[in-house]
Structure 1
Amino acid sequence: MTLNPNSKIYIAGHRGMVGSAIWRALEANGYSNLIGKTSGELDLRNQKAVADYFRTEKPEVVIDAAARVGGILANNTYPYQFLMENLQIQNNLIDSSLKADVQKFIFLGSSCIYPKLAPQPLKEEYLLTGPLEPTNEWYAVAKITGVKACEAIRKQFGKDYISLMPTNLYGPFDNFDLKTSHVLPAMIRKFHDAKIKSEQLGARVPELVDGVELWGSGTPMREFLFVEDLADAVVFALENEFTDNLYNVGTGVDLTIKELAELIQKTVGHTGEIHWDSSKPDGTPRKLMDVSKMEQAGWKAKVGLEVGIRRTYEWFLENIETFKEVKI
């Protein structure tokens, strides 16, 4: 389909980190007919409510940026919610889109859909070729189901439904709750809190400088994508017709968790020690995305990690009294 500035675009999860970034990117590109509902206004787990909303609003395009998300601790603690609620949300959105004759649908997933020990970098064809990482398999199984549902619709009904699989995301409006956040925002929060505590204690005395304890060994390697780059990729996918159903979205560059910690520590200005708790799980040893398909399609990430972390920390400081903490 051909989009125009007045095309009606529904963004599920438009208040979250990803959804709000997509909303801002679409507005910046001249799209003026954007619609969204908060979770209080529309419970995406409710099949009838979602179907009724689609029949009333009749969106032309749907972007699924809604999900229950969290880090290793949250996934391990609430496996049923991570499986069931994500299935409910995405199934209702995908099925209602099909029945409402939505012509273009973008499903957003995660690099965790790929097998734990898949060859690196991760190619799209590695999907379903091996066991998943146990600490987040519940979320991964749900997202794999969404990918396959969109693929089935594309195959059976010929609609332009595609899946974009971003690597680890971070940026403004991230979740900084230490119980449910991902590794990068959790580190920002930990280093910032330790820095403030040290200043309050009187950091002139070296032994009063507060250290930071981090999970694992620091040796796993991870790739990180600034959320505004993902939003840019979504706009690109809306404005272009892709030949396949599944595309990785990332930078194609990774670093160790230890290197990430040191970069965040430097950005925040914390001067204490870093203590690694090797009794805690590391997760997947490496998770680097092969992004050649997106690059061949004409899109490439623009924001470097150091710049992205600085911009994220600046947002954190500006919103420190009100930033989102997710309660489960």
Structure 2
Amino acid sequence: MEKILVTGGTGLVGKALEEVTKTEKQINEVWYFAGSKDGDLTNLEETEALFQRIKPTCVIHLAAMVGGLFHNMNNNLDFLRENMKINDNVLHTAYKSNCSKVVSCLSTCIFPDKTTYPIDETMVHNGPPHPSNYGYSYAKRMIDIANQAYHDKYGCKFTSVVPCNIFGPYDNYKPEVSHVIPGMIHRMHKLINSDTDISESEKVFTVFGSGKPLRQFIYSLDLARLIMWVLRSYESVQPIILSVDEAQEVSIYQVAESIAKAFNFKGKIVCDTTKADGQYKKTASNAKLRSLLPDFKFSDFEKSIKSSVDWYIENYENARK
């Protein structure tokens, strides 16, 4: 019997995994979704206690201190220190607990700021990341180094996935820490429901920055299915990018348009160019994934945005905002 511990199990990706296990869980699997209430993973003793309670045979490591562009820019030291603690505690405790496999979740922001595109798995350590989030990026990069080191010294099957930008139900909508899509969803909902004398057609939604940066976005349920495949079938310690195809890249302004369409927003969309854009693009190649799983079908972006908006509206009182 496989006992699979999911750290960060109550967050965006953890909830997506929980949803996917309802229909795609194998008969020999038991899944445990651990959140912050189950233990402080920056604390080694609490991490060890969590593993002792669950006795996992495998781990999907999602737990991290995360935030959007502006939160990262102002807190790089905190992002570095907290995530280094979490990652070291989880990986070392998994090793001591004889876990047969650990799949850790990284991010495309770990790649070098100055690079050629598309980026692929061989380019992670080719230069410094973008200065806006170097603390988080370096902490995540070190998971790849640790995976290699645990494999070299102990033969551990620790690996990592590198998703592009994730969105979906159960995201974090707090303005100071949210990523671009949940941040826009929260602000659009607030604008539409604001108690003013301005007609809906006169309301103005503001995109932070120029709206020109390009991003690839993956729906959380798609990512959950791919992580499940990695756990069961991917045998390398080398990282693998889990991203939509390059042709599915969209601008931040296009994201705002899709969210406006999902809300049936009739007002105007403007860009505040006094706000920072962050990295202009970080186009990722999913060629490695496609070579191993050529027939995987990603969800339609606009339909996924609509599902995410509908979930937020329906769960507004309990959403993280």
* TM-score, reference length from structure 2: 0.93
Corresponding position: 1:49 with 2:46: yes
> For residues 241 and 176 of structure 1, what CA distance do their matches in structure 2 show?
32
Matches within 5 A, 1:25-36: 25-31=20-26, 32-36=29-33
**What is the letter of the counterpart of residue 103 of structure 1?**
S
Find the partner of 1:78 among 75, 80, 95.
Answer: 75
> For residues 203 and 50 of structure 1, what CA distance do their matches in structure 2 show?
53
Is there any run of 5+ residues in structure 1 with no aligned partner, and where?
A: 1-5
Aligned residues of 1:250 and 1:301 also touching (Cα < 8 A): no
Secondary structure at 1:155's aligned position in 2? helix
Is there any run of 5+ residues in structure 2 with no aligned partner, and where?
A: none
Secondary structure at 2:34's aligned position in 1? coil
Match of 1:3 in 2: none
Secondary structure at 1:8's aligned position in 2? strand
Percent identity, aligned pairs only, is: 28
Q: Deviations over 1:44-91 (max 9, x none)?
A: 111122123324432100010111111011112222221111111111
Instruction: Pick closer, same or farther for the CA change 1:301–1:69 going to 2, 3 Å.
Output: farther
> For residues 209 and 131 of structure 2, what CA distance do their matches in structure 1 show?
16
Find the partner of 1:132 among 125, 129, 133.
Answer: 129
> For residues 234 and 269 of structure 2, what CA distance do their matches in structure 1 show?
47
Aligned residues of 1:117 and 1:284 also touching (Cα < 8 A): no
Corresponding position: 1:18 with 2:13: yes
> Structure 1 stretches (4+) deviating beyond 6 angstroms?
none
Q: How far apart are 1:138 and its partner, in Å? A: 0.8
**What is the letter of the counterpart of residue 269 of structure 2?**
I
Find the partner of 1:165 among 162, 165, 179.
Answer: 162
Secondary structure at 1:179's aligned position in 2? coil
Match of 2:313 in 1: 317
Corresponding position: 1:230 with 2:186: no
Q: Deviations over 1:249-299 (max 9, x none)?
A: 110220111111111111111122222111211111111110011111116
Find the partner of 2:244 among 230, 241, 251.
Answer: 251
> For residues 22 and 84 of structure 2, what CA distance do their matches in structure 1 show?
29
Matches within 5 A, 1:113-128: 113-128=110-125
Matches within 5 A, 1:4-15: 6-15=1-10
**What is the letter of the counterpart of residue 240 of structure 1?**
S
Corresponding position: 1:203 with 2:199: yes
Q: Deviations over 1:110-167 (max 9, x none)?
A: 0001011221111111111122111111110110011211122223322221100000
**What is the letter of the counterpart of residue 223 of structure 1?**
Q
Match of 2:34 in 1: 37
Q: How far apart are 1:242 and its partner, in Å? A: 2.7
Instruction: Pick closer, same or farther for the CA change 1:297–1:49 going to 2, 3 Å.
Output: same
Aligned residues of 1:104 and 1:160 also touching (Cα < 8 A): yes
Match of 2:272 in 1: 277
> For residues 76 and 180 of structure 1, what CA distance do their matches in structure 2 show?
11
Is 299-308 or 218-227 further displaced after alignment?
299-308
- Give the total of aligned pairs: 316
> For residues 63 and 127 of structure 1, what CA distance do their matches in structure 2 show?
21
Match of 2:289 in 1: 294
Aligned residues of 2:203 and 2:267 also touching (Cα < 8 A): yes
Q: How far apart are 1:231 and its partner, in Å? A: 0.4
Secondary structure at 1:40's aligned position in 2? helix
Secondary structure at 1:106's aligned position in 2? strand
Match of 2:145 in 1: 148
